[in-house]
Structure 1
Amino acid sequence: MLPWSPDFAGRMDHAVIDSPALRGNPLGDPHERPIWVYLPPGYDDDTDRRYPSVYVIQGYTGQLTMWAGRTPFRRPYPEMADAMFARGEAPPAIVVYVDAWTSVGGSQYLDSPGTGRYHTYLCEDVVGWVDARYRTIPARDARAITGKSSGGYGAMVNAMLRPDVFGALATHAGDALFEAAHQPTFPARARDLRDLYEGSYDRFLADFRGRIPGTRSSDMQLMEIYAYASAYSADDDGTVRIPFDANGALVPEVWERWLALDPVRMARRPEYAEALRSMRAVWIDAGTRDEWYLDLGATAFREAVAAAGVPDDRVRFELFDAGHMAIEYRYPLALAWLCHRLTGFSG
């Protein structure tokens, strides 16, 4: 595998979007965000043709430019996607790479008084911006969302929250079944806070922001929980509520706020079950050795999707031999599958 980027068969546009939804966000993060829009081979040749669109969102700590990162003997996802379209393995589509970074590492793609209006940013500002500038088919049945980890979470919940915007989804090891994915980590985080910060998240945040992040072994684990709490359990005034106490035991009223946003539990509610039944396609996968047990979350979400009444022929579910990391080779498989199912809708 050559260690540098080949020429694309399609074209990648790099731009900046000015988001009304992110103006004045509580973290003071930028409201102007980079965006990449991939146009498939042939887009510039037939100026009358319109295309389905697929929105790609990242996991926790994901920043847009990470898509250009290279690892030995492997290719970045945008290159794999371009090669897939060039080989004719999927109908052509516009692929949109979305930035939703926050200064706590992520937003979970939700509207929250702790982070900002990232659900609105995605569903209104980003989708509207793309539809206004590119030859998309501007309809939910020709629009999908896909992501991994927290991006997989965002794909699940945004499709359920806004079925008028997204008509298909793919989740790779998406955050789900919070009892298995998150709750077991709470005692260790309580111990970190006790031993290093006198039990105080405020002390941790002040320390983290006053030095090079990642220079203490507990940094990313503590910040990750804080970011999730900022998305799931922030009060209206922006106060972030942590779901465990000084001993790592659950704080029930806070934990219930987290569980209300668990995709597995959301899928059981009538309004979200109806949204899932409207999906043209639902891809669910995860590695059987996932370190956060998101293979169990994937299985539980698949069961919830079935219980919601989504026909089996609209669902692709697979567990494969891998952990949580380095599963980018799965993304083009889901992208191709989604493109085949979005094709044929003309609006």
Structure 2
Amino acid sequence: MLPWSTEFAGVLEEHDLTSTVLRGNPLGDPHVRPIWVYLPPGYGDDPGRRYPVVYVLQGYTGHLGMWRNRTPFRQPFPELADAMFARGEAPPGIVVYVDAWTSLGGSQFVDSPGTGNYHSYLCDEVVPWVDERYRTLADRDHRAITGKSSGGYGAMITPMRRPELFGAFATHAGDALFDAAYRPEFPMVARLLLDEYGGSVTDFLADFRSRIPMSRESDGPLLEFYGYSAAYSADPDGTVRLPFDEFGATVPAAWERWLAHDPVVMAGQPHHADALRSMRAIWIDAGNRDQYYLDLGAQAFRRVIAAAGVADERVYFELFDGTHRAIEYRYPLALAWLLRRMAGD
């Protein structure tokens, strides 16, 4: 009963997936990961019917259990999605909730010697695992990926890198245009690190791991930028390179490695442009007052994919009235749109 709970019209199945590619990862994080698979109403009625699949990625610091978080006057996305299917507002589909959390808060859904092979985990283990166990339409034209913030970032880059697997995606305020979203924060983060830890990342990590995490105001930004660096600019031996020096000045060699992961930069490259032109559907949105300027990133990404030749009729773009927070109501809108497009509407 709302607001405490609700009954699902469909079924949310919870499993554990034992990963080979995450075993022995650099951070020592678990290689057995929870995975949730939502089956729409009527899934059990017709054993011969197959369904499109949408994979859902979380933002930075997100892990699977947080989909159950309840805030006043709002419902978690799994409940919103279930209600959407129950009302018949979208063709039925399977929704897979993927966990790619790390002890640094996130993986950015990339393969990195600093965090582990989370891109390979998603593409080469999660997708086949789902196709083997459920009645999916196991082809890229019926497989989509969606997410918000860092999850939206993962939803942008994964189809560019693996277009044979994913033929559609939605990004809600996804990390993009790194020069606007990340680089302006360098001096602030550098000052925190210098003032509180003498500029030593090692000292920060030791302190962070010795007490209640997130109990200091500086924990969030320091962990976030170290976590991003571990994903984007770690050396082959696992050494993590920050993209700025102790005073916040950009370190070009490390920053170039970050930019190679920027969806706006990637979309301008010929092989990624080819992948984007092959997409059946691309949803891009962000709040027009996003605190991290990801509305600018959304606009830049929309412009570069247009320049790459992605047909306008395959793209939905919107800047809505809002910030980076409390936008989970947007997720079922994109989910329904993706499913309609995969169904041919």
TM bucket normalised to smaller: over 0.9
- Pairs within 5 Å for 1:134-173: 134-173=134-173
Query: One-letter code of the match for 1:264?
Result: V
Aligned to 1:203: 203
Q: What's the offset of the Cα at 1:2? A: 2.0
Q: CA deviation at 1:344?
A: 4.7
Q: TM-score, normalised by structure 1?
A: 0.98
In 1, Cα distance between equivalents of 2:215 and 2:103 = 17
Q: Does 1:180 align with 2:180?
A: yes
Other-structure match for 1:119? 119
Question: What do residues 157-216 of structure 1 show as CA deviations (whole Å, max 9, x unaligned)?
Answer: 001000011100000000000000000000011100111001111110000000001111
Instruction: Verify the 8 A CA contact 1:160 1:275 in the aligned structure 2.
Output: yes
How far does the alpha carbon of each residue in 1:9-63 deviate from its partner, in whole angstroms, 9 at most, with x for none?
1100000001111011111111100000000000000000000000000000001
Give the SS at the match of 2:124.
Answer: helix
The answer to whether the Cα contact below 8 Å between 1:280 and 1:342 also exists between their aligned partners in 2 is: yes
CA distance in 2 between counterparts of 1:98 and 1:4 reads 24
- Residue 245 of structure 1 pairs with residue 245 of structure 2: yes
After superposition, what is the alpha-carbon deviation per residue over 1:216-245, rounded to whole angstroms, capped at 9, x for unaligned? 111010000000000000000000000000
C-alpha distance in 2 between matches for 1:81 and 1:4: 17
Q: In the alignment, which residue of structure 2 is the partner of 1:9?
A: 9
Q: State the alpha-carbon separation in 2 of the partners of residues 60 and 16 from structure 1.
A: 21
Residue of structure 2 in register with 1:219 after alignment: 219
Q: Does structure 1 residue 193 correspond to structure 2 residue 156?
A: no
1:233 corresponds to which letter in structure 2? S
Correspondence 1:305-344 to 2 at 5 A? 305-344=305-344
Q: Deviations over 1:59-80 (max 9, x none)?
A: 0000101111111111110011
Residue in 1 that maps onto 2:292 = 292
Normalization by structure 2: what TM-score?
A: 0.99
Say yes or no: does 1:279 pair with 2:279.
Answer: yes
For residue 105 of structure 1, report the CA deviation from its aligned partner.
0.3
Aligned to 2:92: 92
Letter of the aligned partner of 1:313 in structure 2? E
Partner of 2:267: 267
Specify every segment of 5 or more residues in structure 2 that has no aligned partner in the other structure, as ranges: none
* Partner SS, residue 163 of structure 2: coil
Q: Deviations over 1:296-338 (max 9, x none)?
A: 0000000011011110000000001111011000000000000
Aligned length: 345
SS at match of 1:170: strand
Task: After TM superposition, give the deviation of residue 89 of structure 1 in Å.
Answer: 0.5
- Quote the sequence identity (%): 70
One-letter code aligned to 1:263: P
Q: Is the 8 A contact 1:54 1:145 kept in 2?
A: yes
Deviation sequence 1:114-170 (CA, Å, 0-9, x none) = 000000000110001000000000000000000000000000000100001110000
Is contact 1:37–1:96 with CA below 8 Å preserved after alignment?
Answer: yes
Residue 26 (structure 2) pairs with residue 26 (structure 1): yes
Contact 1:2 1:73 in 2 (8 A): no
SS at match of 1:328: coil
Q: SS state of the match for residue 56, structure 1? A: strand
Q: Find the aligned partners of 2:162 and 2:21 in 1 and give their Cα distance.
A: 16
Q: For residues 283 and 183 of structure 1, what CA distance do their matches in structure 2 show?
A: 26
What is the root-mean-square deviation of aligned Cα atoms in Å? 0.9
Moved more, 211-220 or 47-56: 211-220
Counterpart mapping for 1:50-61 below 5 A: 50-61=50-61
Structure 1 stretches lacking a partner, 5+ long: none
SS state at 2:144 partner? strand
The residue type equivalent to 1:188 in the other structure is M
Structure 2: which amino acid aligns with 1:253? A
3-state SS in 2 of match to 1:169: strand
1:79 aligns with 2:94: no
- Asked if the contact 1:9–1:82 (Cα under 8 Å) also holds between the matched residues in 2, the reply is yes
Query: Which residue is equivalent to 1:233?
Result: 233
Structure 1 moving runs of 4+ over 4 Å: none
